[in-house]
Amino acid sequence: MTTRREFIRNAAFASAGLAFGGISTKMNAASYSRIVDANRKVNLAYIGIGNRGWEIMNDLDNTGLANIVALCDVDMGAEHTKKALAKHPKAKRFKDFREMFDKIGNEIEAVAIAIPDFAHFPAVMMALAEGKHVYVEKPMARTFHEVELMMKAARKYPNIVTQMGNQGHSEANYFQFKAWKEAGIIQDVTAITAHMNNPRRWHGWDPNIKKFPAAETIPGTLDWDTWLSAQSHHDYNKDFHYGQWRCWYDFGMGALGDWGAHILDTAHEFLDLGLPEEVNPLKLSGHNDYFYPMSSTIEFKFPKRGNMPPVVITWYDGLDNIPAVPEGYGVSEIDPNIPTVAGQKIQPAKLNPGKEIYSKELTFKGGSHGSTLSIISEEKAKEMERKLPEVPQSPSNHFANFLLACQGKEKTRSPFEIAGPLSQVFCLGVAAQRLNRRIVFDRVTKRVKNDAFADAFLTGAPPRKGWEDFYKV
């Protein structure tokens, strides 16, 4: 087992930034052969077991492909973690993933990570260095640089399976989009409108904020220091904890990072969009330096790719920021397959989460997650009906796909090589939101060309003391 001490010692030999050093992995031929043994379940550890972590746990458990060996959460005594503890009473328990790897790393083959966005990075990087397969919730990380390092680490350990948790990548929309693109039904796309206009947690807050909220008493069961992970010190406040972390630039990725991976994932992959060359914040209502705007309109410009024309994606969020829809759009419906969030279903809005895709010949209407596309209008859809190709059924859901890949039976559909550039699109969007200015981006060098501060922002603030070595690969 690669202990935490060995991890830090070995990482010290690597140069900072994007360089690679001598971190070793225990994913040798013998252990890989053991993991892909078709007659064994995958020994799985959960990092984050409350709320969304609890939901992911049930989804992975329901595949029948996992053997749960460990539960890790910074708040083992909280109400939201008790159900998981009761469900797996024999699993070993930890508050710190570093201690978990130290003590029982040799018992773990894969990890499922469902903790706040800002904390994904160190947990993923240590798991990869330890030779563990990784399932991590979307988006992959909070900064462009962190995602870049995660992709590079995944390439260094090619026998390790990775999967980002955008479930629609294993559902009907994924296979439909792929089939329609290959059949030439979806071609010459020039514009996409994407929207998530439902209420968000920060919509009732005062955007005239001048400082972070005041310190409050840390709950007795919570290890706040470990919760902060590599992020700079913040005094505990209830508005940082549970799902509230998503509201703050320092901790989460707002509406774009939360929902973009469920709305834009298939278009991004199958239209080979990669990274944008320009990001423009067109509207930021209630902009401030601490939490996300009340509403945002963000424009992403992607260049020509091969024989595909340039594409402009325009993102809309906010209750008062409803984009126009094309004539013949029809009824706005919520896909019943969208999972619950902390036990609650997404509620209908004036325009429900989704997208409209505009090509030179056709216009498509789509929802979120696994929701399939339809052709606008009904008349045009009927005209195209005979030309539509057969769409194959998904052989496995997103969770089974991950575990089957750990067994060597499938390949993951949202590995870091696919999910990483998608996550970086959102990182660039959030940078434009927070800085409230245009970003001109070089897709080759992966640097901001027009703004030195924005370029430095892609890396972000240095990690907290004691966490620096996770950023040396």
Distance CA 277, CA 366 (A): 25
> Which residues sit opposite 135 in a β-bridge?
112, 163
For residues 337 and 333, give the distance between their C-alpha atoms in angstroms, rounded to a whole number: 12
Q: Give the model's pLDDT for residue 330.
A: 80
What confidence tens digit (pLDDT) does each residue in 308-360 have?
999 999 999 999 999 999 988 887 766 666 666 556 666 666 788 999 999 99
Contacting residues for 393 by C-beta, under 8 A, at least 6 apart: 175
Residues 402-437: pLDDT tens digits?
999 999 999 999 999 999 999 999 999 999 999 999
Q: Tell me, what's the pLDDT at 3?
A: 53
pLDDT of 387 higher than 50: yes
pLDDT surpasses 70 at 279: yes
Q: Tokens 């919760």 label which residue? A: 227
Cis bond upstream, residue 377 (ω within 30):
yes
pLDDT above 70: residue 30: no
pLDDT confidence band for 28 (50 / 70 / 90)? very low
CB 399 within 8 A of CB 60: yes
Q: Assess whether pLDDT exceeds 50 at residue 17.
A: no
| Higher per-residue pLDDT: 247 or 9 | 247
Q: What is the mean pLDDT of residues 25-51?
A: 67
The model's pLDDT over 184-200, given as tens digits with 9 standing for 90+, comes to 999 999 999 999 999 99
Higher pLDDT: 62 or 33? It is 62
Average pLDDT of the chain?
91
Lowest mean pLDDT among 58-67, 120-129, 172-181, 340-349: 340-349
Q: How far apart are CA 94 and CA 227, in angstroms?
A: 13
Q: What is the mean pLDDT of residues 214-239?
A: 97
Q: Is the pLDDT of residue 364 over 90?
A: yes
More confident: 438 or 17: 438
Judge whether residue 15 has pLDDT over 50.
Answer: no
Q: Provide the pLDDT for residue 312.
A: 98
What is the arithmetic mean of pLDDT over 39-48? 92
The label of the residue with tokens 């509620």 reads 347
- Per-residue model confidence (pLDDT) at position 7: 61
DSSP assignment of 46-103 equals: EE--STHHHHHHHHHHTTT-EEEEEEE-S-TTSHHHHHHHHH-TTSEEES-HHHHHHH
Distance of alpha carbon 394 from alpha carbon 150, whole angstroms? 27
Q: Write out the CATH class of domain 4-167+401-427+459-471.
A: alpha beta
Better-scored residue on pLDDT, 255 or 331: 255
Q: Stretch 201-209: mean pLDDT, rounded?
A: 97
Whether the model clears a pTM of 0.85, i.e. scores above it, the answer is yes
- 136-186 residue pLDDT tens: 999 999 999 999 999 999 999 999 999 999 999 999 999 999 999 999 999
Q: Which residue has the higher pLDDT, 233 or 350?
A: 233
Contacts of 262 (CB under 8 A, 6+ apart): 138, 166, 167, 168, 338, 353, 368, 369
The 3-state DSSP composition of the chain as helix, strand, coil percent (nearest 5) reads 35, 20, 45
| pLDDT exceeds cutoff 70 at 4 | no
- pLDDT classification of 25: cutoffs 50, 70, 90: very low
**So what's the pLDDT on residue 9?**
53
Q: In CATH, what is the architecture of 170-228+240-393?
A: 2-Layer Sandwich (3.30)
pLDDT of residue 34: 43
Cβ(419)–Cβ(409) under 8 Å? no
CATH 3.30.360 domain residues, the chain:
170-228+240-393
Look at residue 259 and tell me whether its pLDDT is greater than 80. Answer: yes
Residue 400 in this model has a pLDDT that exceeds 60: yes
pLDDT at 206: 97
Q: Record the tokens describing residue 38, joined without a space.
A: 């078709």
What is the model's pLDDT at position 10? 54
Percent of the chain with pLDDT over 90: 85
For the packed helices 120-129 and 144-156, what is the interaxial angle rounded to 10 degrees? 10
Quickly state the pLDDT bin for 301 (edges 50, 70, 90).
very high
Q: For the chain, give every residue range classified as CATH 3.40.50.720.
A: 4-167+401-427+459-471
- In this prediction, residue 342 carries a pLDDT of 56
Instruction: Indicate if the pLDDT at residue 27 is higher than 60.
Output: no
Residues 156, 115: Cα–Cα separation, whole Å? 24
Token couple for 330: 């029809």
